[in-house]
Copies of this chain bind each other. A is one copy, B any other.
Amino acid sequence: MQFFQKEIQLKEYRRGFHLITSVIERELPELSKIKVGQLQVFIKHTSASLTVNENADPSVRTDFESHINVMVPENAPYYIHTYEGPDDMPAHIKASLMGCSVTLPVTNGKLNMGIWQGVYLCEHRDYGGSRKLVLTLFGS
């Protein structure tokens, strides 16, 4: 049984949905040592989030951004947490809808996702800055 943990800082991404699978894999040479296990990717922020979705066609990520802006609109008349601008409160809600972490099975030294799956960083702020992730890998 091995336990490995690492904190990484992503480059700044613009508002929207972004594939970051390869960034995560590059940071984790230790993956190759795990025959059976799990990797958790956790984001230390409340206005950006993580999800797993389609890794091929960029139009999927574009449509995610379009639709989530309809589901969680800016300037809803009932928002009271509006100090940091119209993208602030919607970003918090979107973050909880998507979730602050994804946990992926690890098998034979690799992430065992489906061939069409990838990890998305969901940046919900207009200028969210550079986001921090905690990677927790364990297994045998």
Knowing A53-B95, A81-B59, A96-B51, the reply to whether A42 touches B105 (Cβ < 8 A) is yes
- Chain B residue with Cβ nearest A42: B105
The contact of A5 among B53, B79, B107, by CB within 8 Å, is: B107
Q: Could you tell me which residues of chain A, from 1 to 54, have a CB within 8 Å of some CB in chain B?
A: 1, 3-5, 7, 36-38, 40, 42-46, 51-54
Option from B7, B57, B78 in Cβ contact (under 8 Å) with A81: B57
- Minimum distance in angstroms from A75 CB to a CB of chain B: 12
By a CB distance below 8 angstroms, the chain B residues around A51 are 96, 99-100
**B residues in contact with A96, CB < 8 Å:** 51-53, 64, 98, 120
- Of residues 57 to 115 in A, which have CB atoms within 8 Å of B's CB atoms? 57, 59-60, 62-64, 66-68, 70-72, 76, 78-81, 89, 92-93, 95-105, 107, 112-114
Chain B contacts of A46 at CB under 8 A? Answer: 52-54, 114, 116-117
On chain A, the number of residues with a Cβ less than 8 Å from chain B's Cβ atoms is 62
Task: Please name 15 further chain A to chain B contacts, defined as beta carbons within 8 Å, in addition to the given A3-B140, A46-B52, A63-B79, sorted by A numbering.
Answer: A3-B36, A44-B113, A45-B114, A52-B100, A59-B80, A62-B81, A63-B81, A64-B92, A67-B78, A71-B71, A96-B98, A99-B99, A100-B117, A103-B103, A105-B134
